[in-house]
Amino acid sequence: ATGYLATHWNSANSQYLVTLKQRVWGYVWANDPLAASYTPSTTYQRNSTGQLNTINRLGVGYYQVVFENLGIYYGGTLDVTAYGAGSENCKVQNWGPTLADMNVYVRCFNANGAALDTRFTAAFTRPISSSLARRAACSGPAPPNAISV
């Protein structure tokens, strides 16, 4: 067999075969908390695979963020932050890959703990190995507003 699945999918143990650690990331600003499903403006989202991320409202204060084509990589870090002027709070309920996509489930609440529709940001990253990351960090100038340690 030839093609992508023949070289990247091991059906014997249902694991994607990625030989090197990959630098992958995605972020969104979920700016329309009442929409049933939408793709945020490319001004407010990005994905290292070049795909568009989407957001689905599953219930009051309950959202699914789909990072397209980022689910083929294991591991990583996810951050979610409520975006508003009040005491809103959002957290990750759970997350994981489904086929090629990374699915993130977000719950948002008011100060009393009741479910609340609100805007939020979500960011997913899976860095390269630490030795390669140090080498990459030393290879160019620091970005604007970077914090040195």
Question: How confident is the model at residue 53, as a pLDDT?
Answer: 97
pLDDT beneath 70, residues of the chain: 1-22, 72-74, 128-149
Helix (H) or strand (E) holding 130: helix 130-137
Q: Is the pTM of this model over 0.75?
A: no
Question: How confident is the model at residue 5, as a pLDDT?
Answer: 42
Question: How confident is the model at residue 7, as a pLDDT?
Answer: 43
| pLDDT tens string 41-80 | 999 999 999 999 999 999 999 999 999 999 866 678 899 9
The dihedral of CA 83, 89, 92, 98: what is its sign? negative
Exposed, middle or buried, 50 (CB in 10 Å: 0-12/13-18/19+)? exposed
